[in-house]
Chain A
Amino acid sequence: MTLLKISNLTKHFGGVQAVNDVSFSVNKGEIVAVIGPNGAGKTTLFNLITGIYPASNGNISFKGTEINGIAAHRVAQLGIARTFQNLQIFNNMTVLENVMVGRHIKSKTGFMGAILPLGSVQHEERDIIEKALEKLAMVGLADKALEEATNMPYGQQKMLEIARAIALEPELLLLDEPAAGLNSTETRELIDIIYNLRDQGVTILLVEHDMETVMEIADQLVVLDFGNKLAEGTPYEIQNNHEVIAAYLGEEGLEC
């Protein structure tokens, strides 16, 4: 079943074609990786899907609904969560509070309820804490819950972003370079977390530079180069695709 379908997606910033006529789809339960050299348009693609800015042209359909041009917070409410290449941790909060924000759309206390927290509000608050701790445990940060997020090392902040994103209980999770800056132990943990999420039915679309990781975990790959889709296929197909090898290694690569 197609969960996300991207058709002829184009985005230009002034004269720069960041994404040019890209089409592909993501099936439910798959792990799909978008790869490509720096500046290939991977992060732009993520920003288009999550509604940070609208596409210049083309369509993005999620579960059959057109989401291009919808505000970012509405996209999240529809069931798409993401992490960021440049960490966007809430530095003014504890680790637990960061993840609790992730429960925002799953809870409903309004301004009035916040001002006068009666029984049902307190009950919801307990539920939020419980769920947030559960997500923290999934990424191995349960014992850090009350620490200030800003004091955590980089690798743990990346895990925290994942915990925060999955607190939304999204159907589609977008991970922007999750392995960047992680050491090999942390990368191993990350892979386990991703598999774990997939087993729970979360579909994952990720951008990643670490080829070893990508080839190991992805079911499908989409290769971008200068905003264009160069190829699409299983890791095996991509590894043997001449155009891709040329884009990555230069023409000489083919001669090796």
Chain B
Amino acid sequence: MKDLARRKRLRHSLIALFTLLIFALPFIITNNYYLSVLVIIGIHTTVVVGLCLLMGYAGQISLGHAAFYGLGAYVSGILTSTYEVSPWIAIFVGAVGTGILAYVMGIPIFRLKEHYLALATLGLGLIIHVIFVEEVELTGGPSGLSNGIPYLSFGNFMLNNDFRYYFLVWTVALIAIILANNVVHSRIGRALRSIHGSEFAAKSLGVDTVKFKLQVFALSAVYASVAGSLYAHYITFISPSPFGMMTSIQFLVMAVVGGLSSIWGPIFGVTAITVLTEGLKSFMYQFFPLAGGEYEIIVFGIILVIIMIFLPEGLTSGLANTYESWRYRKEKADDAPKNQ
């Protein structure tokens, strides 16, 4: 199949091109504020890539991913600050622990479907969030964990500024994308998509739908956990507030805006929403001087509705379709003279 090989080559060259672009960016953008936004985009991208595997490919939903993100952050934070464990080991422990927790919690949760599943994951997220707030001795409670989460370092090379951290975060994000891309184009990816397409038919073809739902849920939780750890070592302070329901919804909106069934979608979705949120912070203030942070949810809601109506497949697919139809028209126009 030449066509298949061609598609695969195209995918690989896209990834290579994109990698180059990403790593060139911090040499062009030297403003610290912009760099810090790009670091956060990289961290969020990692979460959303995992969420897209779960939502776009397997057709399941999670409104609790901020909790897994938080678990990664807290495990890293607590192990490194309170118990002085090596940060790299802490990240690993957080990822494995969160993955196992997601798998086990998934066993009862994934008996549910659609709205009920959404509610159950929402509940799971809220419970974990309550633990962050209430387990004061362990987590520092509402005021957070402030007794010195260390910066990450390779030997003596400390990743203590935005420029250095940028490379780590985006290396992780790119690995996350590449691995997700591998999964999507594999036997497992097809099994996941078959669940989305028709769970009934998937089962009749021998796909153990329950097992695959749990596995992809766990994998997406691992992604979120690693991202959370990176967040903790970047900010070096964590409190429960960034790991609440609002963040789960934000991840969901990012995933939907980018396009659920595209492995490139997350980058676009996260960038669009992050830039918008950052923009709103300075912009909304001028119109509504008294507006608190909660107005974001109104904007997210509006965006979600608009995307669902006009670009239900998200920005990436929407733009790709526009390009395809443009190319099709162009090819037709090019062919026309030959036919005469």
Check if B201 sits within 8 Å of A109, measured CB to CB: no
Please, which residues of chain A bring their CB within 8 A of the CB of B196? 90, 92
- Which of B188, B207, B261 interacts with A111 by CB under 8 Å? B188
B336 contacts partner chain A, Cβ-Cβ < 8 Å: no
- Which of B190, B204, B219 interacts with A82 by CB under 8 Å? B204
A71 to B202, CA, bound (A): 12
Check if B182 sits within 8 Å of A104, measured CB to CB: no
Among residues 38 to 97 in chain A, which have CB atoms less than 8 Å away from a CB atom of chain B?
A: 50-52, 71-73, 76-77, 81-82, 84, 88-93, 97
In chain B, what residue has the closest Cβ to A88?
Answer: B201
A121 to B186, CA, bound (A): 9
CB-CB under 8 A for A104 and B204, given A88-B198, A90-B197, A111-B183: no
CB-CB under 8 A for A93 and B197, given A109-B188, A114-B187: yes
Please, which residues of chain A bring their CB within 8 A of the CB of B72? none
Chain B CB within 10 Å, residue with most, of A51, A115, A124: A115
CB distance from A107 to the nearest CB of B (A): 5
Please, which residues of chain B bring their CB within 8 A of the CB of A128? 187
Count of chain A residues near B, Cβ 8 A: 46
Chain B CB within 10 Å, residue with most, of A71, A90, A114: A114
Check if A92 sits within 8 Å of B186, measured CB to CB: no
B21 contacts partner chain A, Cβ-Cβ < 8 Å: no
Please, which residues of chain B bring their CB within 8 A of the CB of A124? 187
Check if A110 sits within 8 Å of B188, measured CB to CB: yes
By size class, the interface of chain B is: 20 to 34
Check if A125 sits within 8 Å of B179, measured CB to CB: no
- Which of A105, A110, A129 interacts with B4 by CB under 8 Å? A129
Among residues 135 to 163 in chain A, which have CB atoms less than 8 Å away from a CB atom of chain B?
A: 145-146
Check if A125 sits within 8 Å of B186, measured CB to CB: yes
Please, which residues of chain B bring their CB within 8 A of the CB of A111? 183, 188, 215, 219
CB distance from A134 to the nearest CB of B (A): 13
Check if A89 sits within 8 Å of B182, measured CB to CB: no
A102 contacts partner chain B, Cβ-Cβ < 8 Å: yes
CB distance from A157 to the nearest CB of B (A): 12
A125 to B190, CA, bound (A): 11
Chain A CB within 10 Å, residue with most, of B4, B191, B196, B201: B201
A206 contacts partner chain B, Cβ-Cβ < 8 Å: no
B18 contacts partner chain A, Cβ-Cβ < 8 Å: no
Check if A114 sits within 8 Å of B189, measured CB to CB: yes
A91 to B198, CA, bound (A): 8
Check if B205 sits within 8 Å of A81, measured CB to CB: yes
A114 to B190, CA, bound (A): 11
Chain A CB within 10 Å, residue with most, of B193, B204, B207: B204
Given A73-B204, A111-B219, A168-B206, 12 more A-B residue pairs with CB atoms under 8 Å apart are A73-B208, A84-B200, A89-B198, A90-B201, A93-B190, A101-B202, A104-B207, A111-B188, A113-B186, A117-B182, A164-B201, A167-B205
Which residues of B are at the interface with A, using a C-beta cutoff of 8 A? 1, 3-4, 179, 182-183, 186-191, 193-194, 196-198, 200-209, 215, 219, 261
Which residues of A are at the interface with B, using a C-beta cutoff of 8 A? 50-52, 71-73, 76-77, 81-82, 84, 88-93, 97, 100-105, 107-111, 113-117, 121, 124-125, 128-129, 133, 145-146, 164-165, 167-168
